[in-house]
Chain A
């Protein structure tokens, strides 16, 4: 099973600041990595697919990069609605999710 390790577990930032989230895979997943956002009581929402492509309707402040085993999600300037939990998920071999990064308001 491919294990995805996300860091940090919690990120405390203020609106307007830049958020950088990391996801490391236990073996190469190529570019078969997605980022999802989840707010309390809601289903996850797809933000980034194939490592660096924004999903439909996702604002340009969200960007993804990386390939192989190391990936990054960047939120260039946090909006109030961006405070949430973010998961990475690979679909190279079966599917697995990371344990999430909680982006909280400082």
Chain B
């Protein structure tokens, strides 16, 4: 079955960087893009963008350019989200997600990675 398994919680200081991983299994990794979604405490989800797992080309939603980098290691079916120059307002749960096999909506989600940015 399709699974997306993310790395564990992170506590970082402002100005540091963090890299979150999302390991896929149960399907051919390069057949579907991987999207990233942020959810700040008590807020609704925000779509951050996606990465084409075939070409490695990332696409970033408005508001997620500059400090946010999507990357891949297709040899281990893993997508990565790196955030640089962390700010306290980056504190959130970050999810990776994949669309349905025959559709365009997020049927598969990672369990989420809590990133806390605090002095």
Contacts and interface: CB of A to CB of B under 8 A. Distances in A.
Interface of A: 1, 32, 34, 36, 43-46, 49-50, 55-56, 87, 89, 91, 94-100
Interface of B: 35, 43-47, 61-62, 95, 100, 103-107, 109-112
Contacts of A89: 45, 105-106
A44 B77 CA distance: 22
Given A55-B100, A91-B105, A43 B110 contact: yes
Contacts of B62: 1, 94
Kindly list the 3 A-B residue pairs having the minimum CB-CB distance in the complex, ordered from nearest: A43-B109, A95-B47, A49-B105
A12 B112 CA distance: 28
A54 to B, nearest CB: 12
Nearest to A96: B47
Given A97-B46, A100-B44, A43 B112 contact: yes
Contacts of B35: 95
A64 to B, nearest CB: 11
Given A34-B105, A46-B107, A99-B43, 10 more contacts: A32-B104, A50-B103, A55-B107, A56-B107, A87-B44, A89-B105, A89-B106, A91-B104, A97-B46, A98-B44
A98 B43 CA distance: 10
Nearest to A55: B107
Nearest to B111: A43
A44 B110 CA distance: 10
B99 to A, nearest CB: 9
A52 B60 CA distance: 28
A46 B107 CA distance: 5
A94 B62 CA distance: 10
A97 B47 contact: yes
Given A1-B62, A96-B47, A49 B109 contact: no
19 contacts: A1-B62, A34-B106, A43-B95, A43-B109, A43-B111, A46-B106, A46-B107, A49-B104, A55-B100, A55-B107, A89-B45, A89-B105, A91-B105, A94-B47, A94-B61, A96-B47, A97-B46, A97-B47, A100-B44
